């Protein structure tokens, strides 16, 4: 019996090693369907500003265009699941893609008059975020980001928002928001077919 158990564990280990050799683009997107994480509904007693993020609620098929440093842009697909939690007061976002997966929690802060959040990806690094709605566009600032040039602020602007789609582009600032340059990614989100 011990031999059989050891053999099974050994085979599982070999299967796991085979997965390491698969490139990120070849890996399937692991996705939690609706029954595991229901959409929920915004609480009508929540601050009225919570309706500002209603546009992301639901399941989305996303096309990301990424430009690596000194590289050629390429596009890949991801899934994005957004739902209300904490009695319909807070937005929880779950991102699943071939290169990274993560989550973010967002809440509207009535004192600061903006959305405050935290996101974390599989690398375990947490980033503070804040967001405001300006001229029909949701502008999200991601703090504490670093690259080969040093720390910067990442700005995502969500625009062309409709019931079934929206777009986002990114900018970055290495001088605390005084100047901005084009970011490395943009996306087009289309509501997933249920």
pLDDT digits (tens, 9 = 90+) for 28-42: 544 444 454 556 889
> pLDDT tens, 5-57?
333 333 333 333 333 334 444 455 444 444 545 568 899 899 999 999 999 99
In the structure encoding, which two tokens stand for residue 70, read together? 């000194």
Taking the model in full, what pTM does it have?
0.80
Q: Which residue, chain included where needed, has tokens 């500002």?
A: 52
Instruction: Give the integer Cα–Cα distance in Å for 167 and 160.
Output: 6
Which one has a higher pLDDT value, 167 or 40? 167
- The percent of residues above 90 in pLDDT, for the chain, comes to 68
Percent of the chain beyond pLDDT 70?
79
Q: CA 151, CA 173: separation in Å to the nearest integer?
A: 9
Residue 7 token pair = 């053999």
Element (H, E) at 17: helix 2-20
What CATH number does domain 2-191 carry, 3.40.50.2000, 2.30.29.30, 1.10.260.40, 2.40.128.20?
Answer: 2.40.128.20
In the chain, the N- to C-terminal Cα span, in Å, equals 46
Q: Please give the pLDDT value at position 40.
A: 80
Residue 113: pLDDT over 60: yes
> Would you list the domain boundaries of the chain?
2-191
Nearest in space to 64 (alpha carbons), one of 180, 167, 174, 182: 167
Location of structure tokens 């595991």:
36
* Residue 15 DSSP code: H
């Amino acid at each position: 019996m011990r031999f059989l158990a050891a053999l099974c564990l050994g085979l599982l280990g070999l299967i796991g090693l085979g997965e390491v050799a698969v490139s990120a683009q070849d890996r399937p997107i692991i996705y939690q369907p609706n029954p595991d994480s229901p959409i929920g509904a915004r609480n009508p007693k929540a601050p009225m500003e919570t309706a500002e993020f209603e546009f992301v609620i639901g399941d989305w098929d996303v096309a990301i265009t990424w430009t690596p440093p000194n590289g050629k842009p390429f596009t890949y697909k991801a899934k994005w699941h957004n739902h209300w939690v904490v009695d319909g007061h807070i937005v929880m976002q779950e991102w699943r893609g071939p290169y990274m997966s993560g989550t973010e929690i967002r809440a509207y802060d009535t004192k600061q008059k903006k959305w405050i959040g935290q996101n974390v990806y599989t690398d375990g690094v947490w980033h503070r975020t804040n967001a405001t709605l300006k001229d029909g566009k949701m502008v999200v600032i991601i703090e504490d980001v670093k690259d080969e040039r040093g720390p910067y602020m990442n700005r995502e602007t969500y625009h062309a928002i409709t019931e079934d789609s929206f777009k986002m582009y990114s900018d970055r600032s290495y001088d605390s928001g005084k100047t901005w340059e084009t970011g490395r990614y943009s996306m087009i989100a289309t509501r997933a077919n249920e």
